[in-house]
């Protein structure tokens, strides 16, 4: 079943106490609004305001976004909270492909044109 022993005991105890309606009363796992920093609506408003700033190029890194979130929350937030916040609201990490700042695209094209292809037999 994929459940550990203590979880089975809790389910049985809940069933004995509440009957068939035990699953309606108990909510295991998931987001708890009582322990979260912001409600979903507050998070949505915050992320919408950040989306506007990000589309204008004013926010570049997760550190910039972290500062905005910490201002709204009123205390420091963990990396896990920040990445979970991104995931909840459909944000993903976007970064450019790595390339050397001193690379020369013209030399790259010239090298590709003049590249000798040598075929070696398999051993």
SS (H, E, C) 73-112: HCCCCCHHHHHHHHHHCCCCCCCCCCCCCCCCHHHHHHHH
Q: Give the percent of the chain with pLDDT over 70.
A: 84
**Is 22 domain-assigned?**
no
Provide the domain count of the chain.
1
Q: Would you say residue 77 lies in a domain?
A: yes
| Residue 78 located in a structural domain | yes
**Residue 44 confidence class, pLDDT cut points 50, 70, 90:** very high
Positive or negative torsion for Cα 77, 83, 85, 91: positive
Residue 82 lies in a domain: yes
Q: Give the three-class secondary structure for 71.
A: helix
Residue 105 covered by a domain? no
Confidence bin at 76 (pLDDT 50/70/90): very high
Does the pTM of the predicted model rise above 0.75?
A: no
Does residue 25 form part of some domain? no
The residue segments making up the domain with residue 57 are 35-92
34 vs 83, residue with greater confidence: 83
Please indicate, yes or no, if residue 8 is contained in any of the structural domains: no
On the question of pLDDT at 24 being above 70, the answer is no
């Amino acid at each position: 079943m994929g459940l550990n022993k203590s979880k089975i005991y809790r389910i049985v105890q809940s069933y004995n106490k509440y009957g068939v309606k035990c699953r309606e009363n108990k909510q295991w796992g998931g987001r708890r609004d009582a322990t979260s920093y912001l409600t979903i609506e507050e998070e949505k408003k915050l992320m919408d305001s950040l989306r506007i700033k990000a589309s204008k190029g004013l926010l570049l890194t997760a550190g910039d976004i972290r500062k905005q979130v910490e201002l709204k929350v009123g205390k420091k937030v963990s990396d896990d909270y920040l990445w979970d916040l991104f995931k909840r609201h459909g944000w993903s990490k976007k970064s450019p492909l790595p390339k050397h700042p001193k690379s020369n695209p013209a030399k790259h094209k010239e090298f590709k044109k003049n590249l000798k292809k040598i075929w070696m037999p398999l051993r």
